[in-house]
Amino acid sequence: MNYEILGIAVLWFFLYGYLIVASVDFGAGFFHYYNKVSHKNYQVNKLIQRYLSPVWEVTNVFLVFFFVGIIGFFPDTAYYYGTALLVPGSISIVLIAIRGSYYAFNTYGSKDSRIYSLLYGMSGLLIPASFTIVLTISEGGYLDVSDGLVTLLLGELFTSMYSWSVVVLAVVSVLFISASFLTYYAFKAGDVASYWLFRRYTLFWSGPTILASVLIFFAIRRHNPQHFSSMLDISWMFLLSLLFFLGAVFLIYRKRQLGLAFVLVMLQFFSAWFGYGASHLPYLLYPHLTIYDGFVNETMALALIAAFIAGLLLLIPSLILLMRLFLFDADYVRGNR
SS3 track for the chain: CCHHHHHHHHHHHHHHHHHHHHHHHHHHHHHHHHHHHCCCCHHHHHHHHHHHHHHCCCCCHHHHHHHHHHHHHCCHHHHHHHCCCHHHHHHHHHHHHHHHHHHHHHHHCCCCCHHHHHHHHHHHHHHHHHHHHHHHHHCCCCEEEECCEEEECHHHHHCCHHHHHHHHHHHHHHHHHHHHHHHHHHHHHCCHHHHHHHHHHHHHHHHHHHHHHHHHHHHHHHHCHHHHHHHHHCHHHHHHHHHHHHHHHHHHHCCCCHHHHHHHHHHHHHHHHHHHHHHHCCEEECCCEECCCCCCCHHHHHHHHHHHHHHHHHHHHHHHHHHHHHHCCHHHHCCCC
Q: How many CB atoms lie within 10 A of CB 58?
A: 14
**CA 154 to the chain's CA centroid:** 24
56 or 1: whose pLDDT is higher? 56
Quick one: pLDDT band at residue 204, thresholds 50, 70, 90? very high
Determine contact, residues 218/225, Cβ cutoff 8 Å. no
Which residues are CB-contacts of 159 (< 8 A; sequence separation ≥ 6)? Answer: none
pLDDT of residue 61: 75
Separation between Cα atoms, residue 14 and residue 312, nearest integer Å: 8
Query: What is the domain range of residue 164?
Result: 3-333
Least confident of 34-43, 57-66, 140-149, 222-231: 34-43
CA angle 90, 33, 264 (to 5 degrees): 85
pLDDT of residue 247: 94
Burial class of residue 107 (count of CB atoms within 10 Å of its CB; 0-12, 13-18, 19+): exposed
Average pLDDT of the segment spanning 205-220: 91
Separation between Cα atoms, residue 281 and residue 293, nearest integer Å: 12
pLDDT of residue 158: 84
pLDDT at 177 over 90: yes
Residue from 202, 145, 139, 204 nearest 165 by CA: 139
pLDDT of residue 73: 79
Average pLDDT of the segment spanning 181-192: 83
Average pLDDT of the segment spanning 274-290: 86
- How many independent structural domains does the chain possess? 1
123 or 171: whose pLDDT is higher? 171
Which residues are CB-contacts of 199 (< 8 A; sequence separation ≥ 6)? Answer: 183, 252, 255
**Cis peptide bond upstream of 88, omega within 30:** no
pLDDT of residue 325: 64
Q: How far is CA 299 from CA 59, 277, 310, in A?
A: 30, 25, 17
Q: Which residues pair with 132 in a beta bridge?
A: none
pLDDT at 336 over 70: no
pLDDT of residue 46: 66
Full-model pTM: 0.88
Average pLDDT of the segment spanning 186-203: 85
pLDDT tens track for 37-47 = 776 655 666 66
pLDDT tens track for 215-253 = 998 889 888 888 889 899 898 999 999 999 999 999 999
Q: Looking at the chain, how many residues does it have?
A: 337
Q: How far is CA 145 from CA 13, 37, 60, 304, in A?
A: 29, 46, 31, 29
pLDDT at 286 over 80: yes
Average pLDDT of the segment spanning 45-66: 66
Quick one: pLDDT band at residue 326, thresholds 50, 70, 90? low
